[in-house]
Structure 1
Amino acid sequence: MLPCKRPAVFLSLAVLLLTSLTACANSPVAKNLEQSLAADPKLQNNPVVFEESQGNEPQAQQNPSTVQLPADFPKDIPLYSNAKLQEVTPASGSENKVSTRWLSSDPSNFIASFYNSQFQTKKWQILQQPTDDAGGVFEARYNDLLLKVSIQPQSVTNATANQPQTATELLIDYEPNSAATAQPPPTTNPNEITNAVAQPGNPQFVDPTPPANLAAQPPSTANNQTIPTATPESPEFDDLNKAPQEWRQYIQDVAALGVLSLEPKVTKSNSTATTNQFEPSKIVTHREYARWLFAANNAMYASNPTKQIRLPSESTQPAFSDVSAKDPDFPAIQGLAEAGLIPSPLSGDSTVVLFRPDAPLTREQLLLWKLPLDTRQALPSANFDTVKQTWGFQDTARIDPKALRAVLADYRNGEQSNIRRVFGYTTLFQPKKPVTRAEAATALWYFGTQDEGLSAADALKLKRS
């Protein structure tokens, strides 16, 4: 019977305690008891969010909102609006690059589509892009700003529902303009010093005396002429803004390979000052284009000697009667002729005895000389009807029969065709129209076909790495 009396005892004690508290509600004892049972105000103002860790112990959740972009973050870099910044660190392998990590709840194909559209709309030069919509890596450049965007789909676990949730991680690595444009100082060809104003005290003065420990100089031909190969990266041109916007990046890339020649000019205000003029709208001559074509091909394939054009031997006989072995551009012109890349008596064109080095280069000649270096095989047979059906040119009948094969082969290169890259969409080819220096440089930006080739941007990456 004793256990039955315990509930009655506990009930009596509870009633007694409640009566005591009510009776002395305003007493000091009651107030102390009330304060001891009240909630902690610090916890009310600063709640702590806990989540289950792998060790089943609660831990504080980190808040990535405290991470901020660097103050010098380039404004040209497109940012996906539904992505939150998680981390900013120096990129591995380079002290000049910065790596940022982002998280987004959107699927990877949405983000890949966003960056593909942004790069194309804002005229970025896309060096690499994903092969599908599931994610991958973009590499692009804009005004010498190098950018790499890695889109990595992943899955996270919702702690409350324990359900998989789609997420995408973004890694945006960039190299600031100041670091991207910093290049080793260009070397100077001793044979070209006389073309510039070299005065002591001038910032552009170059001492023509080679240092005692200078490495071996480039080999020369039998007549002590410099071999037309690409030199180290050239300085930027002062008048590149005169070229159309769509050509400027092409010209910069080809110039960075050391292919394009400068046009030094003395200013009237200061006789000792020179400017690096490219003169993009100036008509390019046969000799200039031959020199650039030779140098560009060999610079593109610097690591692949089997695709380089060989120089003529010391005992070779000139292929053209108007280009002697003493001509400064003889090595390039003769080398192209001996490789069968330009029409000459060596290729069976007995009527082509003159090269006319200072004559303007025409559009059909630009293709006729370059396409063999793109296809690396015999050009296809072609006639006027075939070219007209493919390209749809209204002036197909004006194209020289010898150039028809090159025009048709260029069509088969798809988006990598020289005509599309240089002249854009057109129903008039204008085969006899002279080519400008900007157009010629743009044509030399890419060697190869639609399926396989190499751009000047690719060659620069290989060179710098």
Structure 2
Amino acid sequence: QQATLEQVEPLKDAAGPGKLTIWSSPDPINLIQNFYQKTFESGGWEVLDQPEDQDGGTFIVRRNDLDVTLSIPSGATTGKSTAASSSKPPAVATNSSVTTFDIQYVRDGKDTKAEKPQPSQKPTQAEKPTQAQKPQPSQKPTQAQKPTQAQKPQPSQKPQPSQKPTQPSEVASKPAQVRSGKPEKLTDLDKVPRDLRKYVADLAKLGVLTPDTANPKTNADSQGTQFAPNQTISRRQYARWLMDANNRIYANRPGLQIRLASNTTQPAFQDVPRTDPDFPYIQGLADAGLIPSPLSGDSTAVLFRPNAPLTREKLMLWKVPLDTRKALPKASIEAVKETWGFKDTAEIDPKALRAVLADFRNGDLANIRRVFGYTILFQPKKPVTRAEAAAALWYFGSQGEGQSAKEALFIKPQTSQPSGAPKATPSN
């Protein structure tokens, strides 16, 4: 079906020149959402945020100096059919309803028509590239392949990270893939909430934490040294920190370390190929059974959504198994209510309930107590900040059998290998 442009108006309160466009389509929400997700991924856009499910939501993407916000309200349909307002859209499009959605364009710098995305023309043609999905002028290989004497490479012609494919053999060999553990110079640790400051400081000294590179605006004027403690952390970044923190805290206990995946491993997730810079970490966690994937028997977890915000329940689901080092206990809504007393226990994903219950048994060393303090609202879907994620990773283990980042600072590793790196065979 063809999407129809209903309205165009300028954005008055935007950070830069921008406009709002409103569209309508006879297609259901899920088809429109799938179309845009594929368009952004294939078009070299940096996905800063995206919906949690297939029932509408907001995409926030960026490429060069253009920020795009696509909003598909849940149940955003009008028409004759009352079924169109259901929270679950039909599997196929019908002519009895219309889905409305809007796209905001905000540009930080000069206006370049070539960079404006137009993926909304044919939502149902996701499998067939439209004009909007064709490479933009900045991506056309013909310009780079036929340089003239007058065409000296400009900064704008440099391929972006998403435009330059990485060969599988490079994934395990690039130094950037396996960090050395040298502490980063972070200049804004004074902005960390006071109750979390000591945890963040210890992890920073241990070399786990990195500057916030996901948001281009955060480090625009700071030479890339801003930790941005109160910014939301992505699932991708937390996966990397989770492995790094575990392996550095247990640097002298190889049997408790998580192994990086090799570049020959079959990807567990459709959206984390071998060329992804964080493939060794995300795939390594999946191989170890620490995150839900088809490898662990969860046939529905085919997408990792690396750039989506990490939620509180996912933080617990991934972290607690590394504390208990054993199967999580059976859990029910009633059991969690009786222990933690959360009023919103029913909103917690059933998979995460077990981790939340197991965390309670860790007493004062529980992640929830350390990160969120005393609370009777867990807010399982709430995004986690970078400071909160760091606080959760400050300690691994159960009472009497764990180790903290502070203690790890005084322990000499048995090997000089980087965190998570495969052991080299000693030469004779």
> Which category of TM-score, normalised to the shorter sequence, fits these structures?
0.5 to 0.7
**Where does residue 380 of structure 2 map in the other structure?**
431
Render the CA deviation track for 1:166-197: whole Å, top value 9, x for unaligned: xxxxxxxxxxxxxxxxxxxxxxxxxxxxxxxx
Which residue is 1:304 aligned to? Answer: 253
1:378/1:282 CA distance change after superposition, 3 Å: same
1:358 aligns with 2:310: no
Which residue of the partner structure matches residue 257 of structure 1?
A: 206
- 1:11-410 equivalence runs, <5 A: 224-226=173-175, 229=178, 231-263=180-212, 274=223, 276-410=225-359
Quick one: structure 1 residues 315 and 422, their matched pair in 2 at CA, closer, same or farther if it must change by over 3 Å?
same
1:441 to 372, 387, 390: 390
Deviations 1:69-117 (A, max 9, x none): xxxxxxxxxxxxxxxxxxxxxxxxxxxxxxxxxxxxxxxxxxxxxxxxx
TM-score normalised per structure 1: 0.50
Secondary structure of 1:299's counterpart equals helix
Of 406, 409, 413, which residue of structure 2 is paired with 1:457? 406
Shift of 1:311: 1.8
Deviation by residue 1:244-302 (Cα, 9 ceiling, x = unmatched): 1111111011111111111379999x97x625100001100010000000111111111
Tell me, in whole angstroms, the C-alpha distance in 2 between the residues paired with 1:462 and 1:315: 33
Kept after mapping to 2: 8 A contact 1:263/1:279? yes
Take 1:263 and 1:387, find their aligned partners in 2: how far apart are those partners? Answer: 34
Supply the distance in 2 between the matched residues of 1:252 and 1:463 (Cα, whole angstroms).
19
Contact map agreement 1:279 1:437 (CA 8 A) in 2: yes
Q: Distance in 1 between matches of 2:229 and 2:291?
A: 24
After TM superposition, the score normalised by the length of structure 2 is: 0.54
Structure-1 residue corresponding to 2:9: none
Q: Distance in 2 between matches of 1:230 and 1:448?
A: 24
Distance 1:444 1:230, change over 3 A: farther
Which amino acid in structure 2 is aligned with residue 263 of structure 1?
Answer: D
Aligned partners of 2:272 and 2:304 also within 8 Å: yes
Given that 1:228 and 1:291 are in contact with CA atoms closer than 8 Å, whether structure 2 keeps it comes out as no
AA aligned to 1:423 is F
Q: Could you list the structure 1 runs, at least 4 aligned residues long, displaced by more than 2 angstroms after superposition.
A: 220-233, 263-268
Distance in 2 between the 1:369 and 1:330 partners? 17
- Which whole-Å CA distance do the structure 2 matches of 1:222 and 1:368 have between them? 27
Structure 2 distance, partners of 1:231, 1:375, is 28
Specify the code of the residue in structure 2 equivalent to 1:399. I
Deviation digits for residues 197-234 of structure 1 (CA, Å, limit 9, x no counterpart): xxxxxxxxxxxxxxxxxxxxxxx866534475553441
Using the aligned pairs only, state the percent identity.
61
Q: Could you tell me how far apart the structure 2 residues matched to 1:228 and 1:435 are? A: 24
CA distance in 1 between partners of 2:376 and 2:365 (Å): 18
Amino acid of the structure 2 residue aligned with 1:322: D
One-letter code aligned to 2:355 = A
The residue identity in structure 2 corresponding to 1:424 is G
Q: In the superposition, relative to structure 1, how do residues 229 and 462 fare at CA in structure 2: closer, same or farther (>3 Å)? A: farther
Q: 5+ residue gaps in structure 1?
A: 1-219
Q: Distance in 2 between matches of 1:446 and 1:278?
A: 20
Closer/same/farther in 2, CA of residues 353 and 234 from structure 1, 3 Å limit: same
